[in-house]
Structure 1
Amino acid sequence: MEKKKPIKRHVALQPLSRQHHFGLLFSWKLRKGFNKDIEIGRMQKYAKWFFKNEIEPHFNDEEKYLFPILEPDNELIERALKEHRRIKRLFNDTKDPEKSLHRLEEELDAHIRFEERILFNEIQEVATEAQLQKIAEIHSELKKYPDYQDPFWE
């Protein structure tokens, strides 16, 4: 099996990539919860907390500071924005929480991998040093939220 070379991420984008790592962990935690037959309400509560503390601020930062580096009609930006809208809907869906959490686990994971492997690479290639510096300044001190109090995945 061919080993993939790790992506060399510009230092200005590293905090956003670290947040992506937490998103992947969120998906993993949901999978663990499903495998352990954890009550859906507990996982839904965690999803609500994660959306408020991690996803919503992260999406806002990407959309405000990162995506404008590329043209608004760029197909990668259009895809990312469409996926953001879909993921937000899944986080906020209360009609069928189990189905939404299953889809969320899969779609958030796929979205993060798209941004890390494709979109961020494109942005990194075209961004000016001034744009990257501005992103670095904005993200120099990302908020650290307290750990979630119900680790159902353990």
Structure 2
Amino acid sequence: MGKPLKRHPALIPLSQDHHFGLLLGWKIRRGIKKEVEKDRIVKYLDYYVSSHLEPHFQLEERFIFSFLAKNDLMRKEAEQQHVDLRNSVDRILSGSENAFADLEQFAEALDAHIRFEERKLFQHMQVELTEEDLAELESRVKRIHEKIKENWKDQFWEN
């Protein structure tokens, strides 16, 4: 495999969000490993998804993916992964009987999704989009994107 492309400035804020998404997965797995009560982890998941993950998904779906054709295979894959992740969260929040297994599966799926976007989708976009498209994308992201600032007191993942 060749040398990775340098990340275009338009995509850097999304990559920064992805860092926090990877931390979400780590926190879930850490909580499970420490045998933290399921409800504490689920409440944090609910907070994080509604405050940060869902707005991130909406930004991508409404303003980022639209730079690719509707039938672009990478775009379709990313959109399907969003659907699958939302369904996983809905299952957990609705009181899944296998909450710990579902939380672990969600964390793994989120990690895989982030790796897909970082390693494949964003590289694809940087190759496929024109400089004008990338400049417009950067302008949109600057206007719309909000940095993640967590406001959660119960840090169950800590020692």
The sequence identity of aligned pairs, in percent, is 38
1:103-151 per-position Cα deviation (integer Å, ceiling 9, x unaligned): 1111000010011000110011112223222322232252443432111
Which of 138, 146, 153 is the matching residue for 1:149? 153
Query: Is the counterpart of residue 62 in structure 1 residue 64 in structure 2?
Result: no
Which of 78, 90, 93 is the matching residue for 1:92? 90
Runs (4+) of structure 1 exceeding 6 A deviation are none
The one-letter code sitting in structure 2 at the alignment partner of 1:152 is: F
In the alignment, structure 2 segments of 5+ residues that lack a partner are: none
Find the aligned partners of 2:101 and 2:118 in 1 and give their Cα distance. 26
The one-letter code sitting in structure 1 at the alignment partner of 2:115 is: R
Equivalent position of 1:137 in the other structure:
139
Q: CA deviation at 1:6?
A: 6.1
Task: Assess if the C-alpha contact under 8 Å between 2:13 and 2:147 holds in 1.
Answer: no
Query: Is the counterpart of residue 112 in structure 1 residue 127 in structure 2?
Result: no
TM-score, normalised by the number of residues in structure 2: 0.87
Find the aligned partners of 1:31 and 1:144 in 2 and give their Cα distance. 21
Equivalent position of 2:33 in the other structure:
35
Aligned-residue Cα RMSD (Å) equals 1.7
In the alignment, structure 1 segments of 5+ residues that lack a partner are: none
Q: CA deviation at 1:10?
A: 0.3
TM-score, normalised by the number of residues in structure 1: 0.90
Task: Assess if the C-alpha contact under 8 Å between 1:53 and 1:145 holds in 2.
Answer: no
Find the aligned partners of 2:155 and 2:5 in 1 and give their Cα distance. 31
Q: CA deviation at 1:66?
A: 1.5
Q: Quickly say closer, same or farther: Cα 1:37–1:7, change in 2 above 3 A.
A: farther
Which stretch shifts more, 25-34 or 139-148? Answer: 139-148
Task: Assess if the C-alpha contact under 8 Å between 1:66 and 1:135 holds in 2.
Answer: yes
